[in-house]
Amino acid sequence: MPPSSDPLPDLRNFSRQQLTDWVTSLGQPAFRAKQIFTWLYRPGIIDFSQMTNLSKDLRGKLHDLALLTDLAIETSELSQDGTKKYAFALADDAIIESVLIPDGKRRTLCISSQVGCAMGCAFCLTATMGFKRNLTPAEIVGQVRAVQSDLGEEQRINNIVYMGMGEPLANLDNVITSLDILGDELGLAYSAKRITMSTCGLAPQINKLAGKVKVNLAVSLHAANDIIRDQLMPVNKKYPIAELLTACQEFPLDKRQKITFEYILLAGINDGVEDARALAKLLRPLSCKINLLPCNEAPEIPFRKPKEATVLAFQDILKWAGYTVLIRSSRGDDISAACGQLAAKKKS
C-alpha cells in the first residue's frame, strides 16, 4: 500500500508548522515540535530513541503514534560523463529515479515528484509509464537526503530541480510541503535561489505556487504556437499558450530573477528559422532566459535530434533578439538519465 494509507503519520511528511499542530494536538507544548523537527533531518537519524533531548516517555509515545521513514537507494548507475542516476524502491514497491549532475564543484540534483506522469508529453519516456500516484513530502525530500548521504557532507548538493518523474504542480500540496522542509533552517536549509520548479504548463497552479512559496520557475514550452504545442503536449489544449504566459507574467520575480523557458528541439517539427523568430516575439513581454535542449532520442519516441547547425542557427536568432540562450548538453544519456528519459519500472 502507498505510505499515505498507513494509519500512523510519518513525521517527515510534516512541515515544521504542520508538526507543531500535530504535537500540540497530543497535549504537548509547541516547543517540543521544534525539538523533534531539529532531529528529523540530521544524518543517521532513523528512530525516535535517538532524540535524546526528549523524555523517555515522549519518545515512547512517538514510537507508538508515528512513523519515521527513510528512503533507501535501490540501485545507482554512473554515466561516462559523471552523471549519476539513483533508483529508489518505495514502500509499495514502486520505483522512482533521481539524477545527480556534477559540473565542476557544483552538484545539481534532479528529483521526482510523482510515480510516472499523467501529462502525456509526446517526447517524454516518463509519459509511457502512465500515472501511478503522487509522492509524499517525505519521499520527495527523501531523495535529497539519500543522495546527500551517499555523497557525504564534503560534497554538498548545491541546487535542486523538480525536473524528474512527474509534473510537480499536479502534486502541489505535497510539493509545497517539501519546499517548506527543504528551505527550513532546521530542515535542509536550502535558499529559494537554489531550487527550481519545473512545469509543463498548469497555469492555475503556477498562480497558486506563487502565493505559497518563493522558488525559481522553469516552464516547458517547446513550441511557439498552439497548433504544434497541442500535438506535443496535451496540457496545452486545456491551458493554451496565452493563458500560460499570462500566469508567467504574473509570477513574482526578484530584481535579477528570470523565468526559464525550456525548449526541446525536434528535427523538422519546431526547429526552423520561423519557429525561432516566433518564439522570440512570443516571449518579448517576459523577463526570461531560454534553454534549448536538442531531442534525446529513444526507440519509443517518434522524434529525432536536429543537426548541430540547425541548433546553432536557432540559438543565434534568439541571441540577436536579445535573449540569454543556453544549449543544454545531454548529460547521462548512456544510462537513460538525460532529460525526458526517466522511465523506472516496478521491481519484478
- pTM across the whole model: 0.93
Residue 39 to residue 8: CA distance in whole angstroms: 19
- Considering the candidates 117, 124, 288, 339, report the single residue annotated as catalytic: 339
Contact 260, 291 (CB under 8 A): yes
In order of their start, the domains of the chain are 3-65 (1.10.150.530), 73-335 (3.20.20.70)
Write the pLDDT tens digit of every residue in 259-293.
Answer: 999 999 999 999 999 999 999 999 999 999 999 99
Q: What is the mean pLDDT of residues 194-219?
A: 96
**Residue carrying C-alpha cell 532546521:** 186
Residue 120 to residue 127: CA distance in whole angstroms: 5
Using DSSP's 3-state secondary structure scheme, residue 318 falls into helix
Name, in order, each residue with C-beta under 8 angstroms of 241's C-beta and a sequence gap of 6 or more.
221, 223, 224, 225, 226, 229, 282
Write the pLDDT tens digit of every residue in 304-318.
Answer: 999 999 999 999 999
Per the structure block, which three cell numbers stand in for 278? Answer: 516566433
Note the residue count of the chain.
Answer: 348
| Predicted pLDDT at 3 | 53
- Considering the candidates 97, 139, 167, 262, report the single residue annotated as catalytic: 97
Residue 256 to residue 12: CA distance in whole angstroms: 34
DSSP string, 96-118: EEEEEEEETTEEEEE--SEEE-S
**Residue carrying C-alpha cell 519545473:** 198
| Band (348; pLDDT cuts 50, 70, 90) | very low
Residue 25 to residue 44: CA distance in whole angstroms: 28
Write the pLDDT tens digit of every residue in 64-122.
Answer: 999 999 999 999 999 898 999 999 999 999 999 999 999 999 999 999 999 999 999 99
77 is catalytic: no
339 is catalytic: yes
DSSP 33: H
Per the structure block, which three cell numbers stand in for 138? Answer: 517525505
Using DSSP's 3-state secondary structure scheme, residue 221 falls into coil
